[in-house]
Amino acid sequence: MGRRSLARVERARRRCHFVLDGGASSDQLTRIVNYTLVALALASVAAVVLESEPDYAARFGFWFLGIEFVAVSVFTVEYALRLWTAPLDTRYADLSPTRARLAYARSPLALLDLMSILPSYLALFGLPDLGVLLMLRLARFFKLARYSPGMRSLGAALEAERRALFASAVILLGLVLVAASAMHVAEQAAQPDKFGSIPSSMWWAIVTLTTVGYGDVVPMTLAGKIIAGFTMIGGLMMLALPVGIVATAFAEEIHRQEFVVTWGMIARVPLFAALDAAEIAEIMHYLRAQTVPTGTVIVRRGEQADSMYFVAAGEVEVEVDPLNRVRLVEGHFFGEFALLRKTRRMATVRAMQQTKLLVLDAMDLQTLMDRNPDLGRHIEEIVRARMGDDVARTAGDMIPEEFEEPGRAL
């Protein structure tokens, strides 16, 4: 294979990895692939569930089989492509291509991908559709975690707090043992069939501590009822402990991701690109969030400019003139010159969908620069070095870098 062929293959592999790895929200092929895989996962899970109903299986069996065939075919191609592109994953950058693929194959998400297609291939060899294989087919539902930022954040939160959650489980197990032992002592004479041993009493302890309370096993003696009361109170406290741990970790994970995204947007602005970490962090404190509905005019051409905007989510359209319109998506910014001096808006900006903006007012930045003279001098030096007299001459509030693709070097 020649150099050109190898280069084409490598470009195709990098493009494939970019798309399968989530790519960019503005990439059309990435969105199509993600939506297709999500739709197939949901359709195949729905088919498995409905197929368990005899009437539906008899009437729509052909369609269920077709959905299964398409889903398995697509998921097999997806699994093979992910193995092919695994060496490009930054987690395996130090490994050889073969070891990188083996490392990826052992990862939880890769094992989930394999389990989602394995039952169908086992059925080709005549293996009966056992209950465990049915459960593996339903595991496709959890493939959605790969395409859901919320589920990924929850998984990261659980991973971060795994030790605390394990400690909570150990404490809960200890309470089960204590409650079951105490109830065995208190109730074994009155109800030997239900509390005659500690293992048989553990069913009551688990049901009570989890606040389920089936009522099939209840204490009859005064001592048993007192023990049951303390067990119920302990169950309420124990359930609140892991819930609080997960909720706090999830909130911190979301905050961390928003911090990273916001940091990246600010650092991409040419005016702030040369600032150090501490200076960018100070600027972040002055950002305020603003959510605008579809069709809202955010700024209007000719108005006085006194703030700049970052597109945190959504899409806006910049109309410089009727024949010159530009769409800005997540990660873009506009109105940088408004922070440097009072000027007029040179374009009308309208939200094309519900959009979340982060706004930095010129007055707030000036206050920060006054309070922190070193930061002020640093920004002024950057302005003089980059723009010179253009700051004084330019009539508008925008610069060409505001229309660059997010993530490109400026």
Instruction: Write the CATH number for 319.
Output: 2.60.120.10
Q: Are residues 125 and 11 in the same domain?
A: yes
Domain that holds residue 365: 274-403
Instruction: Tell the residue number behind the tokens 């982060």, with chain if given.
Output: 358
Of the pLDDT bands very low, low, confident and very high (cuts 50, 70, 90), residue 127 is: low
- Does residue 263 sit within a domain? no
Instruction: Let me know whether 110 and 199 are in one domain.
Output: no
Q: Are residues 342 and 305 in the same domain?
A: yes
Q: How far apart are CA 69 and CA 63, in angstroms?
A: 10
Q: Is the CB of residue 113 less than 8 Å from the CB of residue 145?
A: no
Mean pLDDT confidence for 23-36: 75
Same domain, 135 and 220: no
Residue 119 lies in a domain: yes
286 and 399 co-located in one domain = yes
Number of helical (H) and strand (E) elements in the chain, helices listed first: 15, 10
Residue 66 falls inside a structural domain: yes
Question: What strands, in cross-sheet order, belong to the sheet with 348-351?
Answer: 297-299, 348-351, 315-321, 324-329
Residue 262 lies in a domain: no
pLDDT value, residue 329? 84
Residue 156 lies in a domain: no
Q: Are 79 and 181 in contact (CB under 8 A)?
A: no
Closest CA to 219 of 230, 172, 173: 230
Query: Are 142 and 243 in a shared domain?
Result: no
Q: Are residues 82 and 181 in the same domain?
A: no
At position 112, the amino acid (one-letter code) is L
Write down the pLDDT at residue 393: 46
Q: Kindly tell me if the per-residue pLDDT of 126 is higher than 80.
A: no
Residue 182 confidence (pLDDT): 92
Residue 359: name the closest of 258, 260, 290, 257 by CA.
290
CATH code assigned at 172: 1.10.287.70
Distance CA 92, CA 96 (A): 8
**Same-domain check for residues 7 and 138:** yes
Which CATH number do you get for residue 100? 1.20.120.350
**pLDDT of 409 above 50:** no
Mean pLDDT along residues 207-215: 84
Q: List all residues 6 or more positions away from 40 whose beta carbon is below 8 Å from its beta carbon.
A: 70, 71, 74, 75
Within 8 A by CB and 6+ apart from 91, the residues are 103
Work out the mean pLDDT of the chain and round it to a whole number: 81
Residue 9 lies in a domain: yes
What is the spatial distance between Cα 217 and Cα 196, in angstroms, rounded to a whole number?
A: 12
Report pLDDT for 22.
66
Instruction: Tell me which amino acid residue 237 is.
Output: M
User: How far apart, in whole angstroms, are the C-alpha atoms of residue 338 and residue 195?
Assistant: 76
Burial class of residue 349 (count of CB atoms within 10 Å of its CB; 0-12, 13-18, 19+): buried
Residue 19 tokens read as: 């798309």
- Name the residue among 84, 139, 131 with its Cα closest to residue 111: 139
Residue 58 falls inside a structural domain: yes
CA distance 300 to 288: 20
Residues 8 and 131 grouped into a single domain: yes
Is 299 in contact with 292 (CB distance < 8 Å)? no
The count of domains in the chain is 3
Say whether 409 sits in a helix, a strand or coil.
Answer: coil
What does pTM read for this prediction?
Answer: 0.57
Query: pLDDT (tens digit, 9 = 90+) per residue, 84-117?
Result: 988 888 788 788 888 989 998 998 888 888 888 8
Residue 392: the pLDDT is: 44
**Domain identity same for 132 and 25:** yes
242-251 residue pLDDT tens: 888 888 888 8
Tell me: do 167 and 214 sit in the same domain.
Answer: yes
Rg (CA), the chain: 30
Asked if residue 157 belongs to a domain, the reply is no
**pLDDT (tens digit, 9 = 90+) per residue, 138-155?**
777 777 777 776 777 787
Residue 147: strand, helix, or coil: coil
* 131 and 16 together in one domain: yes
> What are the two backbone dihedrals, phi and then psi, of residue 385, each rounded to the nearest 5 degrees?
-70, -35
The last residue of one of the domains, among 97, 119, 147, is 147
Highest mean pLDDT: which of 6-20, 67-81, 127-141? 67-81
